[in-house]
Chain A
């Protein structure tokens, strides 16, 4: 890595901050800016967005000049594909199917994250999590969730 003259993580971070800064900046332009005496809703966001963009540029520049480039490294593709949709799945099903099936589905999906988990283990674990959460959250703590929702025939 010694011969590389830039740092990919810094460059990527710089770009991310610049993009976010510009996005926030542009959307605060639609707001009333106001004056220093009576600041409008857009005043602080605009200033902060400009600062963020500037910081992004500085990080980008330091990445371009860096002597010790470090690679970004492995990405957890399988994890992202499974872990991130799990809460979404819970959200999509909790109203319709109800709390119990939703938590079962979400934990079953999440248990696919590791290649080490065998299917029957995943099933058993999801079942255990469901039973435990139903007992604790629904019965003991009395959170107001419908255990089984209208999509089910029961």
Chain B
């Protein structure tokens, strides 16, 4: 699924897409670079999506960057917690490429 999302987004010519393996890898990669949007699964090894959202919101560089979380169907509680922690939107699996692209375009206001 991650490959599909990365591939779909990287075909949008305005976007530079950086892929990370888990929450810790994501934090390492984003340090030093400004990102316009972050998309994360809630279920990840080492540092999960909820903890990642919390860490990002506590960081001055990332307190306002839009965050989209990916949850499984039925995980309403996870969604609520993520939104309460500061995520801006969510997508529920199963995911279609067009759905991700549409949401990203809408959030970033690109044509």
- Do A and B pair up? The answer is no
Q: Which residue numbers of A lie inside 8 Å of B, CB to CB?
A: none
Q: Which residue numbers of B lie inside 8 Å of A, CB to CB?
A: none
